[in-house]
Structure formats: structure tokens, C-alpha cells
Amino acid sequence: MGGTDPDAGTGSAAGAAGDGLRVAVVGGGAVGVTAAHDLARAGADVTLFERGDLASGASGRAAGVLYDAYAEDIDAEVGARALERFRRLSGTGEFSFTDCPYVLLARDGDGDLAEAIEGAAERMRVHGRDVETLGGEELRGRFPSLRVDDVTVAAVARNAGWADPGSYVAAVADLAESAGVEIRTDSPVAVSTAPPGVAVASEAPVTRRFDAVVVAAGAHTKQVLADAGIAVPLKPYRVQALVSSREYGGPMWYDASAGAYARPHPAGLLAGDGTVPVEADPDEWDRDADDWFVEDVGGTLRERAGHDPEVDRAWAGLCTATPDGDPLLGAVADGVFVAAGWQGHGFMRAPATGEAVARQVLGESDGTPQFDPTRFDGDEAFEISEGMAVDTESDTDAGTDDRTETRN
């Protein structure tokens, strides 16, 4: 277990800001293990509770597409910090980060999408992101593996890459245990407030008291907090992906017109989207990919990359949506913190998100206002929107992230 910690001696975790602080982290995905690790390195006494196995939820199913190409400044900063930590961790345990450019494109006839991509790319550059805009001919010369005869414009992000989410969770969990974190799997809990604490199902009715509780339980976050009397506007929804065993050596790409993405994968190629904009039950949902999704994404792969997929496996997973598409990150009660709701961008931001919520617990940060969970009452009615879609109205984002896998 463990090994050399790539974060040792950097940031607040090298000090003793958490000395004497007892913290429970609920959720053993990428955000949860990162927060637990950072808190323990800062001196806190941390116990992580996971209802199943580590990475058995959204993180283990995430597509692992990583970049910092966001049009909004705070999103760009979060993405850049996450990539910095992904790269630093690469080579720890079985985890590796593979650099790979990310291409965002629109087809001829989709003028609104093309204009939105150009505008977003310009704002990305304003925020210091390494993004260029290419026409169809330039794109063909740069990426001959892509079929771009029908492409007017594309944005290419160079600070990008891909990774296996499950191996990230395993590597950080090992480092967390080496830092003193007690990790308890197969341990569903009930959260309480005033004072903060958790009751482990197998130990009920005993409640263990903590100075702080961090809830990073993915699709179960709303349910966990509701049982504690805390309402948050989160909706889990299904997304889908597949792995093709045919060789693919091109860039990562997102075809905004088709609503599909692809990236290289050790087995060949990973592709997906298949968003189903209907609230799903986090305990009872269809984990198999739909036939229509496999057919649709297969057609896009043939059109965009000349890739006739040989489907090795196909699956569905859960993402979480909020009313405004921004996450819930911060305190929801005295000593109780939430980290959830990334609209499909969760794994991409996980290293920075776990770090951010840990700093809030330690009292080192007041958080980010636009991510403050108290901006909502908790009972808002809203529709689920695709997290990857390019916004042709406000044009504030252009991106994919980590769609969900059973998964890669």
C-alpha cells in the first residue's frame, strides 16, 4: 500500500492545519479519496465511509477525458489545477496520465454551434488556456485520422489528456491510507447534524461524532443529505458509453452537432454520450447501454473517424445535475459539507474539487460563490440538460468531460 506521495511537502497539507480535527468523508470516489487524502496530510484524523467498493459509483464509470478548456475563469482555474495534480500523480501505483489533444467541432449548417465554439475558444484564450481555432483544411492537415469534410470550425485544446478513473481512485486511496486515513468499504451511513456525525448501518443506532462531515456520495448525495434533513437540488441521470476493440490512434474529439465524443483507450477506442435527461433512481437504474445509443454512436464513429466499432462492452452510469449546471461545493450546515453536481464533469475536476472542499473544512477557504450550495433553497424544479452540450445562447461553456462507464 502507499508509496511516495507526489503531493508531499506542497500546499497546506504539509502543515498541521488539521491537527486535532476529526473528519468523516462519505463517498469513496475520486473526490472523496482526494479530500480524505488532503485532510489527513494536513493533520486531520479522517475516516472514509463507502457504501460499496471504492470507485463503484460514478468515478469507476467515468470516461476519463481531461482538459482545462473552459470559457469561464473559475472553471478554467479548476480544470488547470486538476490537470496539474493528475500529471503529478502519473506513475503512482497503476495510475497514468496520457497527454492527448482534445478537438471540439461543429458540422456545416450548424452556424449557431460554430459561432458558439469560436466565441468560447476566444474566451478560453483570454483565461490563459492553450486553445486554437482551426478551419476544416487546417484540421485535416493536423489530424488526418479524422473525417472533417463537413466541418467548418473546430477548437483544439492542447492542455488535455485521458486517464483511467478507477486507477486514480486506487492510487489516491493508497496514499490516503499511508497518510493515516481509515477507509471503510461496504459501510453505508446516515449523516446527522448539530453536532455533525455519522451512524454506520452495521453499527446502528450508535452515532459517531465528528468535527466535520464531507458528503461526496455522487448520485446518492441528495438522498444522504435528505435523510439528515438537508435539501439540495440534485438530479441523477443516465449517460452511456462503449469501448470498441478496433485500433484508434487519433485525438480526443467531441462532435457537438452529433452530441458524441471519443478518445483513445488501451483496448482501442472509448466513445459515448447517450444522455437520458430523466431523473434516475440511484439505487434502481439500468446499467446496460440502450440499443439506440450503440447504434447512434456507432454511426457517428464511422462518419467522423472512419471507425467501424467492434463493441467490446457498453454500459450506462449516473451523473448529477443542478439547476444552473454548476456544482454544489461547500457547507450546507454547521460542520457538514457537500461536493457534488458536476453535470458529467466530475472526474475531470476531482483532484481540484477534493482539494477545495478539504481547504474549506480546514478553514483555509471561504469557497467559490458560484459553487456555494446555499445559493439554492433545495426544492427548485428544473430540467436536466446534457452536460457536454455547447451552449448556443450564453456561450459560456464548450465541453465534455467524464461521462460515465461501468466503466473504463
In tens, the pLDDT along 271-329 reads 998 899 999 999 999 999 999 999 999 999 999 999 999 999 999 999 999 999 999 99
Candidates 3.40.47.10, 3.30.565.10, 3.40.190.10, 3.50.50.60; CATH matching 12-61+165-234+323-375: 3.50.50.60
Per-residue pLDDT at 198: 97
Per-residue pLDDT at 406: 29
Angle formed at CA 109 by CA 105 and CA 343, multiple of 5 degrees: 45
| Percent of the residues in the chain that have a pLDDT greater than 70, as a whole number | 92
Alpha-carbon gap, residue 157 to 57, rounded angstroms = 29
Per-residue pLDDT at 400: 41
Per-residue pLDDT at 393: 65
Per DSSP, 289 falls in state P
Least confident interval from 104-113, 295-304, 349-358: 104-113
Per-residue pLDDT at 9: 52
Burial of 247 by CB count in 10 Å (0-12 exposed, 13-18 middle, 19+ buried)? exposed
Identify the helix (H) or strand (E) that includes residue 314.
strand 311-321
Identify the helix (H) or strand (E) that includes residue 136.
helix 136-142
Backbone angles phi, psi at 131, to 5 degrees: -130, 135
Alpha-carbon gap, residue 135 to 133, rounded angstroms = 7
pLDDT exceeds 70 at position 258: yes
Alpha-carbon gap, residue 161 to 290, rounded angstroms = 28
Angle formed at CA 305 by CA 304 and CA 311, multiple of 5 degrees: 105
Alpha-carbon gap, residue 268 to 247, rounded angstroms = 4
Comparing 103 with 204, which gets the higher pLDDT? 103
pLDDT band at 401 (very low <50, low <70, confident <90, very high): very low
The DSSP result for 352-398, as a single string, is HHHHHHHHHHTTS----GGG-GGGS-S--------TT---SSS----
pLDDT band at 389 (very low <50, low <70, confident <90, very high): low
For the stretch 124-141, pLDDT in tens is 999 999 999 999 899 999
Amino acid at 331: A
pLDDT exceeds 50 at position 1: no
Per-residue pLDDT at 4: 81
